[in-house]
Amino acid sequence: MYPFGDLPGNLAAFCGVLRREYGFRLGPGEINDAARVLQRIDLTDQQHVRDAWRTILSSSRETAIAFDRAFDAFFFPGPSGSPQERQPRTERAVSKSDAPTSAERRLAEQGPHTADDADDDDTGRGAPSDEMADDEPSAEEPTARWERARYSALDVEGVEPLDVRPVSPAWRDAARALVRRLQLGLSRRWQSAPRGRRFDLRRTWRASLQTGGEAVTARWLRRVHRSPRIVVLIDGSRSMIGTQGPALDLAVALAGVTRRVEVFAFSTALTSLTLHARRAGSGRLVKVFLNRNTWGGGTSIGASLRTFLQRHGERHVTRETLVLIVSDGLDVGEPEVLRDAMREIRRRAAGITWLNPLLETPGYEPSSRGMVAARPHITTFAAVSDPEGLARLARIVRLRR
């Protein structure tokens, strides 16, 4: 059944699997808590143990979903419903990290439920693939990476990895200029300052103690400047091939200069590239295996934007967000879907910048159905193919305040 005969051994092995295969961050404190709680709960009630450990070991919705999957895979590896004595023994999952464990193999064989994150979010199984696909990639061998990619996104066999490369200092400077330009006005928070709008009684009073109770130097407060969040949505469809390099560079450059950036790629489905872009932003080459639904597939801009809004909109699209869409606007979906999604983003975000690589082609008119549907809601329309282009964008980008 389990790799070890005793419960603490199995708990430790299970936590090891969570850490290694599912990217959980677990310290001795969590494992200790999980062991302590066993004294209090009914060990014969599988659901009770599961609920208890989920509370302790998971720390977000994504990890909570992954936890249930890992729990089944580790403790009930056999066909569901068969009694536990009949369950096959979980192999010792503590050997070399590059050898796929039985759990990994099973997940790989299990089929498409992890593959497409476009539709099954509500059933609670579609943990974002980035959650599982990358843990400590730089140290890993390609085979291990491949295994990971394999069970996080199906249909990557034969797909060339996408290189997310570090960018030149010129890109980073331009990205910094853009972030600096995007000032959103003032937050409601007060901050101590030598000169400000509001008298700071507390600090003035505190300082006066050094001058015998006489308030010699006045202290002031001013409002904090709000810095924006940026969401980069990159169209990875076939029609964009050849122009996606600058889009990725742009995303990596932004992720390298600020943490407040989220990066997504889409063609018919949506995948987060935030972590990859951040890693590349800190100067490492990152290889990503992407599903054809995300990279090199057909184009469904409207549906992808709608998925983005439903899944991530609440968290990432706020009044402080600039949404950067890099796409040629050649949408095969219904223009109404795109129009509604754009309107909704416009309503919630501080601005939408649409970067269309075709705009640099002489004589191009943005008259495709997709562009016509999207244009009324775009606040800045431009093309960026090099650092100079990004620096130019920094000068013209507009936000609603």
Partner 1 sequence: MTSAADIRTRFRERGFVVDDAFATSLEIMLALQKPLLIEGPAGVGKTESGKVLAEVLEARLIRLQCYEGLDAMAALYEWNYPRQMLHARLSESTGATIAQREAEIFSEPYLLRRPLLEALTEDRSPVLLIDEVDRADEAFEAYLLEVLAEWQVTIPELGTIRARHRPHVILTSNRTRELSDALRRRCLYLWLPYPSLEQEVEILRARVPGLSERLADRIAHLMQVLRGLPLQKAPGVAESLDWAMALMSLHREHLDARTLEQTLGCVLKVHEDRSIVVEHRAALAPYLADAPAASEGGGYGLATDFGVGTVLPGR
The residue among 105, 21, 9 whose CA lies nearest residue 66 is 21
Query: Please, which of residues 298-337 interact with partner 1 by CB under 8 A?
Result: 306, 310, 314-315, 318
Q: Which is nearer to partner 1, 81 or 212 (CB)?
A: 212
Query: Which residues contact residue 380 at a Cβ distance below 8 angstroms, ignoring those fewer than 6 apart?
Result: 351, 352, 353, 354, 393, 396, 397, 398
> Rounded to an integer, what distance in angstroms lies between the CA atom of residue 70 and that of residue 149?
17
Which of 92, 180, 189, 198 is in the footprint of partner 1 by CB under 8 A?
189
Query: Please, which of residues 330-389 interact with partner 1 by CB under 8 A?
Result: 344
> Rounded to an integer, what distance in angstroms lies between the CA atom of residue 34 and that of residue 17?
15
φ, ψ for residue 248, nearest 5 deg = -65, -40
Asked whether position 395 contacts partner 1 by CB under 8 A, the answer is no
Asked whether position 143 contacts partner 1 by CB under 8 A, the answer is no
Binding segment for partner 1 (CB under 8 A), chosen from 12-20, 181-189, 293-301, 372-380, is 181-189
> Rounded to an integer, what distance in angstroms lies between the CA atom of residue 16 and that of residue 23?
10
> Rounded to an integer, what distance in angstroms lies between the CA atom of residue 208 and that of residue 188?
27
Q: Closest approach of Cβ 298 to partner 1, in Å?
A: 21
Asked whether position 193 contacts partner 1 by CB under 8 A, the answer is no
Q: Closest approach of Cβ 340 to partner 1, in Å?
A: 8
Residue 132, helix vs strand vs coil: helix
φ, ψ for residue 391, nearest 5 deg = -65, -40
Q: Which is nearer to partner 1, 19 or 54 (CB)?
A: 54
Q: Closest approach of Cβ 59 to partner 1, in Å?
A: 4
Which of 19, 33, 120, 193 is in the footprint of partner 1 by CB under 8 A?
33
What one-character DSSP code corresponds to residue 112? G
Tell me the pairing of strands 286-288 and 162-164.
antiparallel
User: Binding string to partner 1 for residues 12 to 31, with x set by CB under 8 A, is what?
Assistant: -------------x-x--x-
Tell me the pairing of strands 220-225 and 380-382.
unpaired
Which of 3, 23, 58, 358 is in the footprint of partner 1 by CB under 8 A?
58
- Give contact residues for partner 1 (rule: CB under 8 A): 25, 27, 30, 33, 36-37, 40-41, 47-48, 51-52, 54-56, 58-61, 63-64, 122, 124, 187-190, 201-202, 205, 209, 212-213, 306, 310, 314-315, 318, 344
